[in-house]
Amino acid sequence: MSEVLFEKEGGVALLTLNRPERLNAISGPMLSELSERLIACDRDQGVRAIVITGAGRGFCAGLDLQDAAAGSGIGGGGGLPPSLELRSAPPVVLHEIDKPTICALNGAAAGYGMDLALGCDIRIAGESGKLAAAATRRGVLPESGGTWLLPRLVGWSKAAELIFTGRTLTAEQCAELGLVSRVVPDALLLKEAHALAAEIAGNAPLAVQSAKRMMRMGLSEPFDEHVHHVFLQLLPLFGTRDFREGLQSFLEKRKPQFEGR
């Protein structure tokens, strides 16, 4: 069975990490398939938002330590593969794609799983959700974006505390730090994540994707350069059908019907 399940309803794609017997611990095939699915969703004009979750009782337990300890899998045999291609790794792909992503955090996300959750644009946690910065407790460091993401999300001091201690945060603690947008009952998690994704999907997709692109660029450029880049993104949007539909629907006091054109 596929290690990443795919469903699409309306403009919302649902990707489910599917190794529940291992708490969705990361394997090589799962990494490859997740990247392929994300890239395919980004290219699919019918997808306007992506929800990522885990099968069973946990989001992702990180790299599969059982396989690594046995000398197989990622990290087994004393190191990483010499031909590792980071440009196609899920954290990099998550950062580069323009479609908005939502993590539906069900249960624990540890190590690589935490980095994967933090790499999504928005996080909603179930009451049992947890983020575990467990890398330093396993003799490694957050290798998949955590050292870049956490200081930007919570500030240097708190990020340093979390990473250096390898601490686990409950869903409520994550909400207090702003690492998740909100906490909902476990039974309602997917429903809430899908509702948010559908709300995003109802907006002009080219505008949403341009906004995400500019937010990403704004993380590493000065304000004066950024406003010029925003203006260059804005000009083509003025010529789209969706811009005209947005104006017309406002004047007619009706819900817009955006085409992504």
Q: Could you check whether 4-201 and 205-252 share the same CATH topology?
A: no
Tokens of 249: 């629907």
Q: Would you say 34 and 4 are in contact if contact means Cβ atoms under 8 Å apart?
A: yes
Domain limits of the chain? Answer: 4-201, 205-252
Q: Which has the minimum average pLDDT: 6-10, 22-26, 76-80, 108-112?
A: 76-80
* pLDDT at residue 78 tops 50: no
What percent of the chain shows pLDDT beyond 90? 81
- What type of residue sits at position 24? N
The position carrying tokens 């005209």 is 244
**What mean pLDDT is predicted for residues 6-15?**
96
Q: Which residue has tokens 């910065």?
A: 133
Three-state DSSP class for residue 36:
helix
CATH T-level fold of 4-201? 2-enoyl-CoA Hydratase; Chain A, domain 1 (3.90.226)
Q: Is the pLDDT of residue 225 over 60?
A: yes
pLDDT value at position 110?
94
Q: Which of 151, 152, 176, 181 shows the shortest CA–CA distance to 164? A: 151
The CA–CA distances, whole Å, from 113 to 44, 82, 162 equal 25, 23, 15
Separation CA 45–CA 22 (nearest Å)? 34
**CATH numeric code, 205-252:** 1.10.12
On average, the pLDDT of the chain sits at 91
Write out pLDDT tens, residues 119-165. 999 999 999 999 999 887 887 887 788 899 999 999 999 999 999 99
d(CA 259, CA 91): 29
pLDDT at 248: 94
- Give the pLDDT score at 81: 53
